[in-house]
Amino acid sequence: MAKIIITGVDGNFGGYVANSIVQKLPMEDLIFTSPNISSLDKYKMAGVDSRYADFSDATQLTEAFTGGEALLLISMPQVGENRRRMHANAINAAVKAGIKKIIYTSIIGAGDLENCGYEIFDHKFTEALIKTTPLNYVFLRNSQYCEAMVSAFEQSADTGGVLSNNMGIGKVAHVARFDCAEAAACVAAGKGESNIAYYITGPELLNMDEFCAIGSGATGRKVVYNYITDEAMYEYFDAQGVPRETDGVWAESAKAFPFCSKGMVTFGTAIRLGQMSFCTVDFEMLTGKKPLTVREMFEDIDNHRIGVRNASEKE
């Protein structure tokens, strides 16, 4: 079988994919890459072809991708021009290295021309660039990670019991991050069709009132939802020390928010406007499993916090 390349195996998402795909494919059919050399040691010891990959250097990336047939490009954790440049480097390197197929972890709003989410623009750019190449592709448009909202719920429970944001009555099918990673592993292992976008979502559309009610019931910690405007949302994040824009420097004082506020506020706006209200069975079709529900994640909350967002200057 032709070799499958998995990028970013040092990260939360990529690490899960790596651990999952070795259960699906022989190790000799895999290539793992990371910008952090030390993170590759355990995979090398296990017998996987593991390579350093510098996403700021297109020439080096071409070398890292040589010998692969398909590439799982896990979206970089940076935001804005830096991420778009790194994605472009990876796509161009894939073409030069002779890759035939690229699987890209995108986001549910990327197919909506009217969706003006700050981070969603990066995914639209990447999808459009891939389509200009001869590569076959699969876009995995992931819904909002439930872990992000679980962490926001916990912070709200610790600080007065009110979760305030700008999502209003908009609904989203929150999905477990590792469910998204499992879908990616399955597609990298051969599931699904080419030249298609799959929407990886949780099993139920919920607004924030419903989300907080489920969290309160599952944890015994009462949290209620309070709608605030986009402007008030920016003011809240400013007070928390969250940067409005960033290429990967996250707020040390706001552990529940390892994102930039412009990304979060515009994401909330898109949810409020109904631009993120996708709920599909694509996850089950690709994996043969049921996606976790919000209640199940709250009941196993220790394993469903957002955690540290892994970013380096080279990936």
Among all chains, which residue has been given the structure tokens 């719920």? 153
Q: How many CA atoms lie within 13 A of 78 on its CB side?
A: 16
Q: How many CA atoms lie within 13 A of 116 on its CB side?
A: 3
Give the 3-state secondary structure of residue 250: coil
Domains of the chain: 3-143+175-200 (3.40.50.720), 146-172+203-277+290-303 (3.90.25.10)
Count the neighbouring beta carbons within 10 Å of the beta carbon of residue 303.
10
Indicate the pLDDT class of residue 110, thresholds 50, 70 and 90.
very high
Among 224-233, 257-266, 284-293, the least confident range: 257-266
Return the percentage of the chain with pLDDT > 70, whole number: 93
Look at residue 122 and tell me whether its pLDDT is greater than 60.
Answer: yes
pLDDT of residue 168: 98
- Token duo for residue 138: 């699969």
Distance between CA 161 and CA 170 in Å, rounded?
21
pLDDT of residue 311: 44
Helix (H) or strand (E) holding 141: strand 136-142
Distance between CA 24 and CA 180 in Å, rounded?
16
Distance between CA 104 and CA 6 in Å, rounded?
11
Alpha carbon dihedral 263, 265, 267, 272, in 10-degree steps, equals -170
Question: What is the rounded average pLDDT for all residues in the chain?
Answer: 92
Look at residue 310 and tell me whether its pLDDT is greater than 50.
Answer: no
C-beta of residue 141 within 8 angstroms of C-beta of residue 198: yes
Look at residue 309 and tell me whether its pLDDT is greater than 90.
Answer: no
Indicate the pLDDT class of residue 315, thresholds 50, 70 and 90.
very low
Distance between CA 282 and CA 14 in Å, rounded?
20
- φ, ψ for residue 58 (rounded to 5)? -65, -35
* Region 264-279 average pLDDT: 95
Look at residue 133 and tell me whether its pLDDT is greater than 60.
Answer: yes
Indicate the pLDDT class of residue 15, thresholds 50, 70 and 90.
very high
Indicate the pLDDT class of residue 245, thresholds 50, 70 and 90.
confident
pLDDT of residue 53: 97
Indicate the pLDDT class of residue 79, thresholds 50, 70 and 90.
confident
pLDDT of residue 237: 87
Task: Report which of 56, 67, 137 is spatially closest to residue 102, judged by C-alpha positions.
Answer: 137
Distance between CA 119 and CA 83 in Å, rounded?
10
Distance between CA 244 and CA 271 in Å, rounded?
19
* Region 126-137 average pLDDT: 98
Indicate the pLDDT class of residue 257, thresholds 50, 70 and 90.
low
* Region 293-299 average pLDDT: 98
Look at residue 253 and tell me whether its pLDDT is greater than 50.
Answer: no
Indicate the pLDDT class of residue 220, thresholds 50, 70 and 90.
very high
pLDDT in tens, 27-50: 999 999 999 999 999 999 999 999
